[in-house]
Structure 1
Amino acid sequence: MNKPATTMINGFDASRLASLPERERSMIERRQALLGPSYRLFYENPLHLVRGDGVWLYDPDGNAYLDAYNNVPSVGHCHPRVVAAIAEQAAVLNTHTRYLDDKILAYSTRLLATFPEELNRVMYCCTGSEAVDLALRIAGYQTGGTGIIITENAYHGTTAVTAAISPSLGPNMPLGMHVVTVPAPDAYRADGGDVGDMFAQEVSKAIAFMRRRGIKPAAFIADSIFSTDGIFSEPAGFLRKTLEVVHEAGALYIADEVQPGFGRTGSHMWGFMRHGIVPDIAVMGKPMGNGMPIAAAVMKSEVQERFGHDIRYFNTFGANHVSIAAANAVLDIIEDEALTDNALSTGNYMLEGMRKLQQTFDCIGDVRGAGLFLGLEFVSDRKSRTPDGARSLAVVNRMRERRVLISAAGIHGNTLKIRPPLPFGREHADIFLNTLESVLHETN
């Protein structure tokens, strides 16, 4: 039985409130009264955290939890160099981009150097949602179109515009009238077919659907690892044909790098680079500042030029001095600690370990991913590849009780979503793998 579509994957069921300890029950009751019902908690037994350090999180009783899920603290929770950079800059100056300042120019030069040379302009905001929102505005203005193509269980943000292209928020969040969904590029169920061809054909069908209804395509947007769709990374290069189809239609290709960016996929700084493509716009979010409010859209100058001349853009907190200092420290740490290389080596080690488990446990249908962004898919029957969301949820919650944190993804919630901070090393991978094996024996 799979998780109902109306509930959040790995979300706390409020009907279980009475079963929780008094301390947590009281906090949840206050939370519901003060914040309202829209806010959700993870896990059957919600987690109360008070401190973070590297790849570890701590509860009020001093228990340590291995974080194999959170990508926002990309270089680790409370990294001392990020903390120092924030404190030092906060004591000097913190204002906005309508004054001249060298720091934003130095950081922008450095950031753009990590991209293909065609992507040579950057615009700043505070969150990934804002960055996607801005990218869609630019795409619509550049193309004169309104049609947007997304995958069936995509997540791209929480503003009115980005929520309307985020079907993973659930059926009560209506999609935009000019939004068309396509199936995710699921190589596990492709039966030997060319995933690149199949996905490009679906995008082509979506474009034809729009045109038949008088809708001009503006953009195709996807994160390069299809994280909420179930983590689909292989084979590298399969997005090339989709880029061609999008450009032939006069639309822009937007790469959502909020989750796969900043070296997470291991082989490249940006997820789209694994596919040998150059998008028109790439967006990134809070991992760029290790959780500080900074995000950006990087784009081709010819895409931005007319929008920039015709429409003023300003974001009060976007690229403020303190957030730029944090972002600069993040790039320092990624380079100095070779975190992209670590993501590749540790990720490959984890893939190998999970594939060994796959040989033992028939419930594991597929293991996939790139770098430190991994998925393990549960099925009730390997031959039919029937998704098993109930097992996935059970494993996620058993892991949490063993103090290892992961979550789930996919339209059926049957794929473990494993996405730790970038300093996650082999010693942490061994803890994860040993705990997973033990939990699989328990739930088998």
Structure 2
Amino acid sequence: MTKSLKLALAASALSCVAANANVRPAAVLQPSTRGLPRAIVGQGVRADVSDPKAMFASLQTAFEEFKAANEQKLSGKADVLVDQKVEKINEAVGAFQGALDEINTRMAALQLSGGGAPGQTREQRTYSETFAKFFRRGDEGATSALHDLAVKAAMTSQSDPDGGFLVPTEMEQAIDRVLGTTSIMRTLAQIQPIGSSEYKKQVSLGGAGSGWVGETDARPETGTPVLGELTFTPGEIYAKPKASQTLLDDSRVDLAAWLAGEVDIEFSEKEGAAFITGNGIKKPRGILDYDKVADAAYEWGKLGYVKSGHATLLTGDALINLVYAPKTGYRPNARFLMNRKTVGAARLLKDGQGNYLWQPSAQAGQPATLSGYTVAEDDNMPDVGAGAYPVAFGDFRRGYLIVDRMGIRVLRDPYSSKPFVEFYTTKRVGGGVQDFAAIKLMQIAA
């Protein structure tokens, strides 16, 4: 979903609250020329991005309205209109929180983006300049020189039977930065760049013996640790953006930004789905593709799960149980992973003292929390339903590994889609669980 669509949904949902639920909108988002919320109007308070206190006060007000409407619904005095009111305010709070989360993500990305590709060698600069000629005009001289220049720039020492050339470092970094803000799992998992066809990692499965002894006691031989090996093999993901020659001839067009903007949706959607449900064949293996076992019978190589306690619904007790399923060492950096519909369902849940488990952002730069932990939304996670696994919780940086084969390759094709020029762009990505104890799932089951 694009940022403009998210903002539009937020504004639309909040307007519906006022129109159909007989409550005043706690917040109205209006996209500015930069695509950021320009103003938030609620209860007579106007809060721009320069006034974060008023902005988050408006969100808190909207959440209070939601709780009041939901309490009316739970009291047994509700009717269809009240049900609709709760649903619409819930959607409004979710859309508004989503827009604020996106602002936080974009701000973090700007802080991490740096200033292009500093420290380039003379050979790398020459390669970048020659690549630009190839990219814009298909210059024959540039085409014949690029492979030799790539070797001199230490970008590659191998040929590619499918043709095409590696994009310059600054262009690859631009694409990676965009993917880092649009692919949810990339913000959560550990990312390992590799230069070979696969990545192997040794993991300890325990088994090392130990014991207590006195100062002069004999030290008997202990057991040796058991080691396992995990292999991550990248698959190839591709996109075919196209541009007119007029656009390419415009020297003001930033080629790196253009290509990153064109491929980010294709790349992020394809790899995002694979990180959750991929089968590991010519693509990453997703967290839901692994064998699952009740957490009480957990074993290495499988993901443990806890049951929701209801055949078809999410429950507050199960969410709390899920938080305590991973070992203590995994919880400090843990978070929830679920889709937006499941977040909406979780927003209705309470603990044993009647407190809502979901809480909105309390201040700028902080996301919403569920039972005290950050919630990451990924629409590749399944909906709540009998037998489904709609919620994951844990330390995903320790639990899931993404391997990026270094180098994004582009093949220029001016013939297949005249008068446009197509750019067959490929990237090799792999992924899989690297620590099965770090991630736990919830199964919807009694």
Q: TM-score range by the shorter chain?
A: under 0.3
TM-score (norm 1): 0.25
TM-score (norm 2): 0.25
- The structure with more radius of gyration: 2
Relative contact order, CA 8 A, sep 6+: which one is greater? 1
